[in-house]
Structure 1
């Protein structure tokens, strides 16, 4: 077994493959693949009738484009230096894929919450995607580049700082580590006591006249506590004819035909077999009530997804499950293919490895036409920030929280001691990632503008 000193040497040696400052460089290759062609290559699994809505949502803003362009960024990162320090990547670690969720013990935790693209890969890919999303969101909110750079740098700094702290902890301490609402308050306070802001940031003002630390500064725990299955029951269902049904809301929620409903009931049995025995006992106490086709997110529009309503003790005891198709990760072309033949299994295994407290109803199944799916609980005290509401001060706090949560996630699956040694005590990595974030934000704006131009020309149909 290698010693901590040996692992630290591995991290320092990785600087020869990719220096810390090299992460700030990004120049599009001369023969960069057309981003719209990359997007089109991912459309084979999408329902054709929902493609116009997919492109319309991506065209809404540069940030929306970034959310739907995971494969584009992965193709671009393939041309950047790699540390060779591998972790289980989230694969799509933009700032809206962090939020609150309840643990089985009902504690409110802040963590990553989307794993469709999860795959082993170089740790810096997740850090860069997070930093870019922060920079793009800042620009979308009208913040100057000084603010955007500051927030992107804060995320990288939090990641580096916390990875170094986690490197000093024992294996079980790291495995059981989580971020709850008490941690959030401490982190926000620490951030407000942290290093002075850049001149560009200071000139704009803090955005928080009171200057009071608030655990909801980056995301709202109190709002998350109200996002329960009972609230979902009120919002998503009604009782026509006295029977509880999912309320149609085209194109977001649409009823399925009798044949599709019967097929989903059949694969429900197969999904059950992938759960641990104790979860099967719990699931068996619910009965299948209704199912509807669901449209989710930006990148997920058109991917086969259904919302399933189950009922426990009575109609006031609901369980909402979501079944979503899983294809190869968008990171797979530039990275080695998954060790899991079943793509739903890939998603579930990655989530269980990354999250501090994974969804107890995670499972996978093979559906009609041999398609791979995974199941998860739709809503159980969950919440995320609204990018449009993030002032400069709130974005800075949120960036720190996301960087901290990402470090915790990577420390579970990768060699935290090697990564911490690679990152070091200086801010070289932080500054480089911030530089990359601004450079790639420029590219994202250009790609977004091109998509809008193509949509305007009619070459690609888009929904209004």
Structure 2
């Protein structure tokens, strides 16, 4: 937890700390990814995660991870955390996303109803070495490039673009005043300023379409898609196993007890909101709830969507209450200072994001599956625009990589020391070139791990079900 410093270091002393870190881990050393017989079995790692999840949903998770190396990577944050944790690191800490692959960067709504670009997944957030997030982003870019059939040279260029953008923007933050770093955010209409040259007409049209689509993704749009009127009242539409209304999932007394626990969750989590947002939440009341399968790595965690209404049936609010477990980084960075893992997620998100969801909060719940569990709560949708890397050519993916790298640097600068990190990275391209080699090597490792899961399914070691959305 942050504390006030009576005798803070000068900028020169902070820069010296960054340069001293080069002695521990030279920038060129980041190129290396070593895999030997001591490396933990990747299937054992994901199986340990699955042991705490909803049993009937675990095969859906494996089915999603089987589809491609990129989908496997999205579910393999714990595997990469294990690999990174076994290697030397800089010791220059920032609040980490913990799963900074390219699909976890997207367009979002700020509370002022501005469209901004930011990180959007904080399930694994924890303080750790800044380079771990950069490496996870870099590897995801190579994996996405390979999925698109890009030649190695083109994928390397995409990684260089993203890492260079991170390094250059961190240097900018190193020269700013503290409040200027904190107030920085990436508004959609200012994103072009993060690029070395103006985007072309095609990229501008693509960005405009993405922004327009993001602005349609509201509670109203989500309610229109996910609910229908039953006996005169809005109800969440059943689409098992992806969306299962509580009445279908657990009919009878057991379902009634769970429904009451979820109503109490909504009522009690309000303590984690500011007073004006508690007042706003009090204007809504719960009318229905359902279990929802989300993402790839998150499949099997307990996740509920809760339909609330305000003034009438045309005033919906959809909240998502998602189980929060220990971060995959914890075995390698130390336990969170927060006892509640939901609070860990929320605190990390508020620290890294320039503009967090107004309904973002947390709660500890007793009585779900007979156990005590931590949850965090947020709106299901609020102007969220999701990238589609499979539609991008190398030039477009490189532009997207630049924006992701710049956004990640802003998030790290809020919690870490931008002066020390910038001094470590330096003005040259040594770190950039090292990350290109690392990303290529780790993409190879990811393909081997994906094959290991394929073999495990073939051998009957684990069970996978085809993704019902495909």
- Under TM normalisation by the shorter chain, which class is it? over 0.9
Q: Which residue is 2:106 aligned to? A: 99
Q: Which residue is 2:76 aligned to? A: 69
CA distance in 1 between counterparts of 2:448 and 2:165 reads: 29
Q: Which residue is 2:342 aligned to? A: 344
Q: Which residue is 1:125 aligned to? A: 132
Q: 3-state DSSP class of the match of 1:190?
A: coil
Q: Verify: 1:32 aligned to 2:47, yes or no.
A: no
Shift of the alpha carbon at 1:259? 2.5
Shift of the alpha carbon at 1:381? 0.7
- TM-score, normalised to structure 2, is 0.93
Q: Which residue is 1:221 aligned to? A: 211
Q: Which residue is 2:227 aligned to? A: 237
* Equivalent residue in structure 2 for 1:372, among 371, 374, 378: 374
**Contact kept? 1:115, 1:351, Cα under 8 Å:** yes
CA distance in 1 between counterparts of 2:197 and 2:19 reads: 28
Q: Superposed, which structure 2 residues align to 1:252-291 within 5 Å?
A: 252-256=242-246, 257-291=255-289
Larger deviation, residues 56-65 vs 368-377: 368-377
**Contact kept? 2:233, 2:313, Cα under 8 Å:** no
Q: Which residue is 2:448 aligned to? A: 446
**Contact kept? 1:181, 1:215, Cα under 8 Å:** no
Q: Verify: 1:154 aligned to 2:167, yes or no.
A: no
Q: 3-state DSSP class of the match of 2:272?
A: coil
CA distance in 1 between counterparts of 2:208 and 2:153 reads: 19
**Contact kept? 2:203, 2:396, Cα under 8 Å:** no
- Hey, which bits of structure 1, 4+ residues long, moved more than 6 A? none
Deviation string for 1:342-396 (max 9, x for gaps)? 1011001000000000111111111122111111111111111012212212111
Shift of the alpha carbon at 1:267? 2.1
CA distance in 2 between counterparts of 1:323 and 1:213 reads: 36
Deviation string for 1:60-98 (max 9, x for gaps)? 100111110100000001122211000000000000000
Q: 3-state DSSP class of the match of 2:170?
A: helix
- TM-score, normalised to structure 1, is 0.94
CA distance in 2 between counterparts of 1:216 and 1:170 reads: 34
Shift of the alpha carbon at 1:314? 1.7
Q: Which residue is 1:180 aligned to? A: 187
Unaligned runs of 5+ in 2: 1-7, 247-254
**Contact kept? 1:86, 1:121, Cα under 8 Å:** yes
Shift of the alpha carbon at 1:452? 1.0
Q: Which residue is 1:295 aligned to? A: 293
**Contact kept? 1:185, 1:214, Cα under 8 Å:** no
CA RMSD of aligned residues (A): 1.4
Q: Which residue is 1:203 aligned to? A: none
CA distance in 1 between counterparts of 2:201 and 2:35 reads: 41
Shift of the alpha carbon at 1:276? 1.1
Instruction: Go from structure 1 to structure 2 and tell me whether the alpha carbon gap of 1:183 and 1:251 turns closer, same or farther (over 3 Å shift).
Output: same
Instruction: Go from structure 1 to structure 2 and tell me whether the alpha carbon gap of 1:324 and 1:360 turns closer, same or farther (over 3 Å shift).
Output: same
Aligned residues: 447
CA distance in 1 between counterparts of 2:212 and 2:279 reads: 31
Q: Verify: 1:16 aligned to 2:14, yes or no.
A: no
**Contact kept? 1:11, 1:417, Cα under 8 Å:** yes
* Equivalent residue in structure 2 for 1:332, among 319, 330, 333: 330
Q: Which residue is 1:206 aligned to? A: none
CA distance in 1 between counterparts of 2:348 and 2:198 reads: 30
* Equivalent residue in structure 2 for 1:388, among 387, 390, 402: 390
CA distance in 1 between counterparts of 2:240 and 2:231 reads: 21
**Contact kept? 1:35, 1:447, Cα under 8 Å:** yes
* Equivalent residue in structure 2 for 1:403, among 402, 405, 420: 405
CA distance in 2 between counterparts of 1:32 and 1:217 reads: 42
* Equivalent residue in structure 1 for 2:423, among 404, 421, 424: 421
CA distance in 1 between counterparts of 2:208 and 2:328 reads: 28
CA distance in 1 between counterparts of 2:383 and 2:203 reads: 23
Larger deviation, residues 364-373 vs 60-69: 364-373
Q: Superposed, which structure 2 residues align to 1:184-223 within 5 Å?
A: 184-188=191-195, 190=197, 212-214=202-204, 216-217=206-207, 220-223=210-213
Deviation string for 1:158-204 (max 9, x for gaps)? 00000001111111111010001122233346276xxxxxxxxxxxx
